Structure formats: structure tokens, C-alpha cells
């Protein structure tokens, strides 16, 4: 696997029992790394042996509001919960990436929320702040997979850009597996923007606008 000449190595492996608010529990191996391109503290949660077969992999961007506080403005928390269960069954890796707000950071994301309250969609709000619509780069994700010995994956994601970037970084993406649809009254406009603007594979036809 090529990652533009940059290599990362495994730093620490430790088993962690996970428990979610609905009672689901499973044990994962948390893996940290040396040499990640962006210098951030990304972590891989490994389930089973990802070097056998084609593992199911989800690059999940950190979302404090959704993952920790259960915010209904996005679908991040439910996607994380779903991903852990599906990967624990199939075998694979959850890449937990420190990319809050599609890479713009927590404070900027909250500033963008304020603009969304005044009518802008999630992408227009970012650009109104002088920030990229989506500032995420998946070089570190590809490095993490390489360090784990993973070269070919099934990608658990609705986002075609993740697949495109990972392929450009040398990861073989056999197929893209969509997540569930976790729509609420509070996040429907957000989900629709992802479908209309960036081609996310989310079926909203049966939901009320």
C-alpha cells in the first residue's frame, strides 16, 4: 500500500471493554500509532483479525456533540454505535479520526451551527466562515490501515469522497457499504444537504421534508 512515502507504526495495543447507552457491549483492541502525517491522536478500534479476508472498515470523524452528548443535529452518534456493532460481527476496524466538524474544529462547527439556524445548509455555513466545505484528509487513515497490515477493505460509509481518497492513497476498496439512515426532525435538512451536495448514499425519499 502506498501512502505517499509516509509510514506509520503501531505504538500501543490495549483491550478495552465498550458499553453503549442502549446496553450493547463488546471488547475492542485500541491501537495507537507513531508517525501519522497530521500529528493528531487518531485511534483504531480493532475487532477480530483484520488481516484475514476483507475487513469491514469505517473511518469515523470525531463528533463531540453527537458521539458524546447525543446531539440530534447530526447522525454521527447513531452511526458510531451502528459501526461498532457491525464491525464487531463482521471483523474489521473502526478508525476514530480527530476531524471534528469535517475538519474545521469544534468551535468553528458550533459557529457554523449558528449560521445554519439562520438558514444556511451545513456546507454553505462552512464557506461563509471562510472554511472548506469538507477539510478532511484521509492520509492518516491510510497510514493506520497500512500499519495494521490491511490492504483491502469493505468501506462502511455513505460518503463517496472517503472511498475516492482512500483509493488514491493506495487502499483497495472492494465495495462501499452504506450505513443505516438515522433521521430526526433536527437533522433532516443536514442529511438532505449531504445527499444533494456531495452524493451521500442516504435514502430520504420516504421521509418528510
- Is position 192 annotated as part of the catalytic site? no
- Kindly write down the DSSP assignment for every residue of 76-91, as one continuous string: HHHHHHHHHHHHHHH-
Q: Which three cell numbers stand for residue 45?
A: 478500534
Q: Which residues pair with 45 in a beta bridge?
A: 30, 94
Q: Which three cell numbers stand for residue 42?
A: 487518531
Beta strands 152-156 and 56-61: pairing type? Answer: parallel
By C-alpha distance, which of 66, 209, 187 is closest to 121?
187
Q: What is the CA radius of gyration of the chain?
A: 17
- Is position 134 annotated as part of the catalytic site? yes
Catalytically annotated residue among 67, 111, 134, 154? 134
Give the DSSP letter of residue 124. Answer: H
Catalytically annotated residue among 136, 167, 174, 175? 136
In contact, 171 and 92? CB cutoff 8 Å: no
By C-alpha distance, which of 76, 42, 70, 50 is closest to 194?
76
By C-alpha distance, which of 202, 179, 176 is closest to 54?
176
Catalytic residue annotation: 134, 136
Amino acid at each position: 500500500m502506498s501512502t505517499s512515502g509516509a509510514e506509520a507504526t503501531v505504538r500501543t495495543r490495549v483491550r478495552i471493554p465498550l458499553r453503549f447507552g442502549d446496553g450493547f457491549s463488546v471488547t475492542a483492541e485500541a491501537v495507537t500509532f507513531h508517525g501519522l502525517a497530521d500529528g493528531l491522536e487518531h485511534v483504531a478500534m480493532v475487532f477480530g483479525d483484520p488481516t484475514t479476508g476483507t475487513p469491514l472498515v469505517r473511518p469515523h470523524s470525531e463528533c463531540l456533540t453527537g458521539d458524546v452528548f447525543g446531539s440530534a443535529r447530526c447522525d454521527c452518534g447513531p452511526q458510531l454505535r451502528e459501526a461498532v456493532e457491525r464491525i464487531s460481527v463482521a471483523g474489521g476496524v473502526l478508525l476514530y479520526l480527530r476531524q471534528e466538524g469535517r475538519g474545521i474544529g469544534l468551535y468553528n462547527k458550533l459557529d457554523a451551527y449558528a449560521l445554519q439556524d439562520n438558514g444556511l445548509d451545513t456546507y454553505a455555513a462552512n464557506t461563509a466562515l471562510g472554511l472548506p466545505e469538507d477539510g478532511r484528509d484521509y492520509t492518516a487513515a491510510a497510514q493506520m490501515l497500512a500499519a495494521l497490515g490491511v490492504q483491502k477493505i469493505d468501506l462502511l460509509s455513505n460518503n463517496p469522497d472517503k472511498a475516492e481518497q482512500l483509493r488514491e492513497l493506495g487502499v483497495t476498496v472492494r465495495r462501499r457499504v452504506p450505513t443505516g439512515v438515522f433521521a430526526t426532525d433536527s437533522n433532516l435538512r443536514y442529511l438532505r444537504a449531504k445527499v444533494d451536495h456531495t452524493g451521500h448514499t442516504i435514502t430520504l425519499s420516504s421521509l418528510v421534508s
